[in-house]
Amino acid sequence: MHAFPLLPLISVWGVLGIILGVILVALVVLYFVGRKLQKRQANAEEQIQSMKQTVSLLVIDKKMMRPAESGLPESALSQIPWYAKRAKMPIVKAKIGPQIMSLMADQKVFEIIPVKKECKVALSGIYIAELKSVRGGKIPDPPAKQSFFQRVFKRNKAAK
| Interval 126-147 mean pLDDT | 80
Q: Give pLDDT, residue 7.
A: 56
In one-letter notation, the amino acid at residue 14 is G
pLDDT band at 150 (very low <50, low <70, confident <90, very high): confident
Q: Are 65 and 88 in contact (CB under 8 A)?
A: yes
pLDDT band at residue 5 using 50, 70 and 90 as cut-offs: low
Dist CA 58 CA 93 (whole Å): 9
- Are 61 and 123 members of one domain? yes
- 126 plus 110 within the same structural domain: yes
Q: Are 111 and 54 in contact (CB under 8 A)?
A: no
Q: Report if residue 141 sits inside a domain.
A: no
Residue 73 has a pLDDT of: 86
Residues 6+ apart with CB under 8 A from 137: none
pLDDT of 1 strictly over 60: no
Q: What does pTM read for this prediction? A: 0.68
> Does pLDDT of 137 surpass 90?
no
Same structural domain for residues 91 and 112?
A: yes
Q: Let me know whether 64 and 125 are in one domain.
A: yes
| Contact between 110 and 131 (Cβ < 8 Å) | no
**pLDDT value of residue 38:** 96
Helix (H) or strand (E) holding 158: helix 148-159
